[in-house]
């Protein structure tokens, strides 16, 4: 038998995947563009989605609607890359929902931007703890005693509606921390928290007459759907 048999070559090293490959490699870039305020300050009426984007200080023109939007008539569904982050996307959706529930659109299905600026300031602060962009705030100040926005004769009162969003946010946090509490207890704790925040000067904590709503009012108007 011959002893000159060639040794079997070693197997090649395993192929390493390309860094960043896969799903994350094709993730579109987020929309971190700022609004062109030189343009928007001269637009008295805008779409609801544009107004809400301006409230969170990202460029409405860079937003892209989802191809599935046509399946839900009247819905504003945007691709994830339309927003700076998932967190902002969630806050945007909340503001859109609150705006629609307050019927802020005019009979032309547009929103008066200066009036929206005055309305959304306490709402955005309640949702995020931050103020609206100074450029948008300037539009609100340029409209003394901004008229209530209407649709078919419906009036929305900014301060009244702002407390509902804040109360809901506080209540959900309390419920998450202590899910065993019943709705009455959650309402009482929410009232106490809102009273404390009002004492510190935080806006959006009062309803009619500049008073913090009672626990019963909070329960009836802001805690619907919360179950113990």
Give me the residue spans of the domains in the chain.
Answer: 37-155, 158-222
Q: Where are the beta strands (DSSP E) in the chain?
A: 45-46, 111-112, 150-151, 154-155
For position 38, what pLDDT does the model report?
93
CA angle, corner 94, sides to 117 and 149, nearest 5? 35
For position 142, what pLDDT does the model report?
66
Cα 191–chain centre separation: 23
Cβ-based neighbours of 63, under 8 Å, separated by 6 or more: 31, 49, 53, 78, 82, 83
DSSP state of 228: -
CA 132 – CA 71 distance, rounded (Å): 32
Cβ-based neighbours of 186, under 8 Å, separated by 6 or more: 171, 174, 175, 219, 223, 226, 228
For position 173, what pLDDT does the model report?
87
CA 108 – CA 128 distance, rounded (Å): 30
For position 3, what pLDDT does the model report?
59
For 157, the token pair is 């009162």
Averages of pLDDT over runs of 10 residues in the chain (228 residues) are 57 54 59 91 91 94 82 73 92 88 68 89 89 91 49 43 83 86 89 82 82 88 76
């Amino acid at each position: 038998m011959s002893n000159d048999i060639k040794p079997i070559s070693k197997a090649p090293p395993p192929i390493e995947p390309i860094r960043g490959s896969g799903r994350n490699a094709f993730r579109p870039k987020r929309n971190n563009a700022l609004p062109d305020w030189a343009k928007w300050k001269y637009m008295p009426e805008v779409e609801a989605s544009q107004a809400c984007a301006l409230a969170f200080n990202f460029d409405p023109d860079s937003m892209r609607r989802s191809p599935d939007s046509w399946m839900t008539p009247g819905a504003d569904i945007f691709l994830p890359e339309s927003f700076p982050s998932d967190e902002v996307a969630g806050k945007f959706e909340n503001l859109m929902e609150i705006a629609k529930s307050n019927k802020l659109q005019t009979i032309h299905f547009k929103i008066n931007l200066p009036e929206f600026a005055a309305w959304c300031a306490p709402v955005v602060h309640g949702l995020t703890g931050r103020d609206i962009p100074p450029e948008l705030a300037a539009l609100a100040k340029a409209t003394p005693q901004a008229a209530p926005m209407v649709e078919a004769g419906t009036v929305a009162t900014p301060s009244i509606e702002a407390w509902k969003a804040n109360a809901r946010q506080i209540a959900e946090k309390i419920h998450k921390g202590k899910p065993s509490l019943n709705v009455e207890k959650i309402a009482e704790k929410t009232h106490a928290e809102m009273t404390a925040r009002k004492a510190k000067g935080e806006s959006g904590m009062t309803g009619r007459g500049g008073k913090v709503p009672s626990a019963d009012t909070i329960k009836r108007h802001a805690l619907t759907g919360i179950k113990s």
